């Protein structure tokens, strides 16, 4: 039976690279995100530089990231239950409006020259609370916008604009900070949320069938965790994402320290260094979008994870600004290949009634472990320098991916293992689709 909650598949005669854009709802959401994400990256790099100017401490910079992502660690599973039981569009309207107001507050504090380190900590915690609810709802919202057939293309295209923003945002932020100050970067971020709010107001999605699981909060969380535990491909992807997120994705902490203390760059040099990583990530996203018809491929996921760790190790050994920029570009390409393939692999192996909770677990290991990763990277950089922190983090990423590669035939099984007879039909359509998209691959 066709799922009426998903929009019908678009016409076959289309340019596959832009398949998801044939859906009106996705076009609206994608356009709003394209504007908003530039502001987000402007704030990310400006806030990191502002913290370094106030404190001159890589550890305190890591503490900001730790506090921002701590709520994801604590409340992500609860947020997944909310995402499964309330309209995701309404959740996103609330979260995006809240983040807009927080950006305006930071802009005002910085403009009036009263901003202090504890202000940034408190605002980072507030942003983290909002993002905890935003992340699983946003991830699970994609399939409502495009349906399962164009899901990977939608994720790849979203990664494309994310990484265009990763290129433009830091570069623009470096210039704006040097000429006008960080407060105008924060102001630009606040204004950019108007675009995504407008797109969400214009989107119309059919109501989804209510979840049939137990309404008890603990029961809901346990049901989602049990599904992940019974499905090897989902469990493996989530565990590997957790390890790499913790140890090999701390560029927001280590690149500013590398730029300032090792490469002796100022704001513009730092901004363009971050943009080089975005160029590589954009290249990876474009390649994924072009080949998205084949679905998520295990070889791309594993090669991306291995490359992410390897190029980070080489970055720690590199001498010179241009070499560092080139290695960051390669690391960015590997990171987006890994993260987008992991995201899609998890979603196509998860039925609708569990998607919010499973994606909340994905958000937990993608962002919730950031406090540990930020403290690891910031603390090690303070003790031994940015080079050592990059080499250690990348080395752990290489080792973890190599272990998964060695067990890939067992750990990437797509079938779910039932724990009771009445639960055996849970995977249903998602399991069939996963078998077509992922299970048929023999790399």
- List the domain boundaries for the chain: 16-206+213-439
Neighbouring CB atoms inside 10 A of 216's CB total 11
pLDDT reading at 1 higher than 50: no
**C-beta separation of 46 from 177 below 8 A:** yes
3-class DSSP state for residue 378?
Answer: helix
Between 374 and 296, the higher pLDDT residue: 374
Once rounded to an integer, what is the mean pLDDT over residues 207-233?
A: 73
pLDDT reading at 272 higher than 70: yes
Ranked by mean pLDDT, which of 103-107, 149-153, 410-414 comes out on top?
A: 103-107
For residues 70 and 131, give the distance between their C-alpha atoms in angstroms, rounded to a whole number: 11
At 293 the pLDDT is: 64
Once rounded to an integer, what is the mean pLDDT over residues 172-192?
A: 92
pLDDT digits (tens, 9 = 90+) for 45-90: 899 889 988 988 878 887 887 788 788 778 888 888 888 788 889 9
At 192 the pLDDT is: 95
pLDDT reading at 253 higher than 60: yes
For residues 115 and 50, give the distance between their C-alpha atoms in angstroms, rounded to a whole number: 10
Chain-centre distance for alpha carbon 439 = 25
Angle between helices 352-363 and 117-146 (to 10 degrees): 150
Question: Homologous superfamily of 16-206+213-439 in CATH?
Answer: MFS general substrate transporter like domains (1.20.1250.20)
pLDDT reading at 327 higher than 60: yes
pLDDT reading at 211 higher than 80: no
Instruction: Name every residue whose Cβ is closer than 8 Å to that of residue 13 and which is 6 or more positions away in sequence.
Output: none
* Ramachandran angles phi, psi of 136, nearest 5°: -65, -35
At 430 the pLDDT is: 36
Provide Rg for the chain, Cα atoms.
21
Structure confidence at residue 323 as a pLDDT band (50, 70, 90):
very high
Once rounded to an integer, what is the mean pLDDT over residues 230-258?
A: 90
Once rounded to an integer, what is the mean pLDDT over residues 321-330?
A: 93
Structure confidence at residue 413 as a pLDDT band (50, 70, 90):
low
At 394 the pLDDT is: 95
pLDDT digits (tens, 9 = 90+) for 420-439: 433 333 333 333 333 333 33
Ranked by mean pLDDT, which of 160-169, 189-198, 272-281 comes out on top?
A: 189-198
Q: What percent of the chain has pLDDT over 90?
A: 36
Between 367 and 279, the higher pLDDT residue: 279
pLDDT digits (tens, 9 = 90+) for 130-171: 988 998 888 888 878 887 778 778 887 887 888 788 778 888
For residues 257 and 276, give the distance between their C-alpha atoms in angstroms, rounded to a whole number: 16
What is the value of pTM for the model shown?
Answer: 0.69
Lowest-confidence segment of 175-179, 395-399, 417-421 by average pLDDT:
417-421
At 247 the pLDDT is: 94
pLDDT reading at 414 higher than 50: yes
At 202 the pLDDT is: 94
Between 13 and 69, the higher pLDDT residue: 69
Between 227 and 421, the higher pLDDT residue: 227
At 264 the pLDDT is: 84
Mean pLDDT score of the chain: 82
pLDDT reading at 411 higher than 80: no
At 15 the pLDDT is: 53
**C-beta separation of 304 from 334 below 8 A:** yes
At 243 the pLDDT is: 94
**C-beta separation of 356 from 269 below 8 A:** no
Once rounded to an integer, what is the mean pLDDT over residues 246-272?
A: 85
Structure confidence at residue 3 as a pLDDT band (50, 70, 90):
very low
Between 208 and 383, the higher pLDDT residue: 383
At 77 the pLDDT is: 83
Structure confidence at residue 33 as a pLDDT band (50, 70, 90):
very high
Instruction: Name every residue whose Cβ is closer than 8 Å to that of residue 84 and which is 6 or more positions away in sequence.
Output: 140, 211, 220, 353, 354, 355, 356, 357
């Amino acid at each position: 039976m066709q799922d009426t909650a998903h929009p019908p598949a678009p016409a076959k005669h289309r340019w596959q690279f832009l398949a998801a854009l044939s859906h009106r709802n996705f076009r609206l959401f994608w356009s709003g995100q394209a504007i908003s994400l530039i502001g987000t990256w402007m704030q990310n790099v400006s806030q990191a530089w502002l913290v370094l100017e106030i404190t001159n401490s890589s550890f305190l910079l890591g503490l900001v990231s730790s506090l921002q992502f701590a709520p994801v660690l604590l409340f992500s599973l609860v947020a997944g239950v909310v995402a499964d039981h309330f309209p995701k569009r309404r959740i996103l309207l609330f979260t995006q409006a809240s983040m807009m107001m927080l950006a305006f507050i930071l802009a005002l504090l910085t403009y009036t020259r009263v901003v202090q380190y504890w202000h940034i900590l408190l605002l980072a915690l507030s942003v983290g609370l909002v993002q905890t609810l935003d992340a699983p709802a946003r991830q699970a919202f994609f399939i409502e916008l495009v349906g399962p057939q164009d899901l990977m293309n939608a994720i790849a295209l979203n990664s494309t604009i994310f990484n265009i923003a990763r290129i433009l945002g830091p570069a623009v932020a470096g210039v704006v900070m040097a000429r006008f100050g960080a407060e105008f970067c924060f102001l630009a971020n606040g204004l950019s949320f108007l675009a995504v709010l407008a797109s969400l107001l214009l989107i119309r999605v059919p109501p989804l069938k209510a979840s049939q699981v137990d309404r008890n909060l603990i029961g809901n969380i346990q049901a989602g965790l049990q599904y992940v535990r019974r499905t090897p491909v989902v469990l493996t992807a989530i565990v590997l994402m957790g390890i790499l997120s913790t140890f090999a994705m701390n560029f927001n902490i280590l690149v500013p320290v590398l730029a300032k203390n090792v490469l002796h760059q100022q704001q513009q040099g730092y901004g363009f260094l971050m943009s080089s990583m975005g160029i590589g990530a954009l290249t990876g996203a474009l390649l994924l979008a072009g080949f998205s018809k084949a679905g998520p491929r295990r070889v791309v996921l594993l090669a991306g994870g291995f490359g992410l760790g390897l190029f980070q190790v080489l970055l720690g050994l590199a001498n010179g600004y241009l070499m560092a920029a080139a290695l960051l570009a390669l690391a960015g390409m590997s990171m987006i290949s890994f993260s987008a393939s992991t995201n899609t692999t998890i979603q196509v192996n998860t039925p609708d009634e569990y998607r919010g909770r499973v994606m909340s677990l994905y958000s937990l290991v993608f962002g919730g472990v950031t406090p540990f990763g930020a403290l690891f990277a910031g603390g090690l950089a303070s003790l031994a320098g940015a080079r050592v922190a990059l080499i250690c983090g990348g080395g752990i990423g290489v080792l973890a991916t190599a272990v998964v590669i060695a067990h890939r035939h067992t750990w990437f099984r797509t079938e779910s293992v039932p724990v009771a007879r009445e639960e055996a039909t849970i995977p249903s359509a998602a399991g069939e689709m996963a078998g077509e998209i992922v299970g048929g691959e023999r790399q």
